[in-house]
Amino acid sequence: MKIEEVNNSKKEVSFFFFERVNLMKIEYNLIKTEKNTKARLGTIKTNYGTVETPMFMPVGTKATVKGLSPEEVKETGSAIILANTYHLWLRPGEDIVEKAGGLHKFMNYDGPILTDSGGFQVFSLAKNKKKDITEEGVHFKSHIDGKALFLTPEKSIEIQNKLDSDIAMSFDECPPASASYEYLKNSVERTIRWAKRGKETHRNPNQSLFGIVQGGAYEDLRKYSAIETVKLDFDGYSIGGVANDGESKEDMYKAIDYSIPYLPENKVRYLMGVGEPIDIIEGVIRGVDIFDCVLPTRIARHGQAFTRNGKINLNNAKYKEDFTPIEESCDCYACKHYTKAYIRHLLNTGEMLGGRLLSIHNIRFLIRLTEELREAIKEDRILEYKEEFLEKYH
C-alpha cells in the first residue's frame, strides 16, 4: 500500500512538493490477529498518511537508498525508509541536515523516515569491548579517517532530534552472538539504563522513540529486557541482536518468541536488520510488524535477484540469451521494461544501471511479499501461504 497523499499542492521550489501537516507521533492500530498464529494486520498513522503492516522498510544509510532516487523508491510501494545516525553524524553532520529543514527536505523523501541509533556501527568499530564500552558511552574510531570519537545515549538522541526523523531508536549495546550469558546479562542491564537516559534526553515532540529488546537467545534475558523496556513506555519496540554477528535462524526465532509475549499489543513491533524472505515470513507469523535490511540493494550490486524460486545470479552465462524478465509475475519497473540478458550485459560491462535495476526489483519483491502476507492474514491462511512459498523458494 502506498502512502496516502496528505498534500497535493505544488510548492514554489520545483523539486520539493510536500509538507508535513498535523505534526504528531506515530499511532499504531491493530486491525486483526490471524486466527492460527500471532501474525498481525495493522496500520501506522504518520505525518505522511497511514501505512499498512506488516511492512518491509528499504534502507537509505546515508540519506539515500543506494543508487535510487526517492521517486524510484516510492514507486516500489515503499512507506517508511531508514537512515543511519552514525553515518549522517560524520557526514554531512546533523547540524547541516537540521539547517536543510530535516532529513525529509534534505533528501526529498515525502514519507516517514526511521533513523537507527548508530549502535551497530559503533560497536563494530569498538576494538576493545571491555575498555571501549563504558557506562557513559562508547569510544571508537571513525571508519573514514581514524579520528577518535565518543558516542553516548544522549548524543545519539540529540543527533536524531536534529535529523527530525519520524521514528528515532534508543542507543543500545549490540553484543556479538558469541557473547557469554554473563556478558549478555550485563549488556541488557546497561541497554536498559541507556534507554532511560536517552528517553530523558529526547526533545522532539513530533518524533516517536522506540526502545530495543536485547538478550541473545536466552529466554530469561529476553523476558527481563522486554518487561523493563516496556516499563519505560516507548512509542514502539524493537527486537535487536538477531542480525549482528551471524546469529543462526534458530536463535533469531527464539529471540522473537521470547520477546513478543511481553510487548504491548497497541505498539509497533520491529525486527531489526532482517531481510531474507523466509525470515520475514517467520517474523510475521510470530507477531512482528516491520522489518528492514540492506540485503536487497547489497545483493543487487553483486548481480543477484530475489525470485519466487529463490535467488538467481545474473552474472551467470546461462542468462546471456535469456530475453525474459527477472520474474514474469513481478510488476516492478525493471521487470516491465528489461530482460535478464540486458541486465547481465550491464553487469558484465560494469554499467551502474544493472545494479540499479536489480535494486528496484529486489526492494519491490520484499514489499510485494509483505503485501501478500497482509492478504494472507486477512484470509486467515498465513500458514498455507508459508507452505506454498517454501515449495518454490530454494
Edge to edge, the sheet with strand 113-116 lists 55-58, 290-293, 268-271, 236-239, 208-213, 167-169, 113-116, 81-84
Q: Name the band, by pLDDT with cuts 50, 70 and 90, for residue 54.
A: very high
Answer whether residue 203 shows pLDDT above 80.
yes
Map out the domains of the chain with their CATH numbers. Answer: 27-293 (3.20.20.105), 295-394 (no CATH)
Rounded mean pLDDT of the chain?
93
Catalytic residues: 116, 292
Tell the residue number behind the cell numbers 515449495, with chain if given. 391
pLDDT score of 256: 98
Q: Supply the pLDDT for residue 141.
A: 93
What pLDDT sits at residue 100?
98
pLDDT band at 215 (very low <50, low <70, confident <90, very high): very high
Look at residues 283, 261, 259, 263 and name the one whose alpha carbon lies nearest to residue 271.
283
Structure confidence at residue 130 as a pLDDT band (50, 70, 90) = confident
Residue 2 has pLDDT above 80, yes or no: no
pLDDT at 20: 59
Output the nine-digit C-alpha cell for 101: 529543514
pLDDT value of position 12: 34
- As a whole number, mean pLDDT of residues 289-299 equals 98
Q: Confidence class of residue 192 from pLDDT cuts 50, 70 and 90? A: very high
Q: Which residue has the cell 550491464?
A: 346
How confident is residue 3, by pLDDT bands cut at 50, 70 and 90?
Answer: very low
Q: How many CB atoms lie within 10 A of CB 73?
A: 20
Judge whether residue 257 has pLDDT over 60. yes
Which has the minimum average pLDDT: 21-35, 188-202, 273-287, 340-354?
A: 21-35
Q: Give the SS3 label for residue 344.
A: helix
Confidence label for 36 from pLDDT (cuts 50, 70 and 90): very high
pLDDT the model gives residue 239: 98
The answer, yes or no, to whether the previous bond of 54 is cis (omega within 30 of 0) is: yes
Determine the 3-state secondary structure of 75 from DSSP: helix
Residue range 11-37: mean pLDDT, rounded:
72
User: Distance from first CA to last CA of the chain, Å, rounded?
Assistant: 27
pLDDT exceeds cutoff 50 at 94: yes
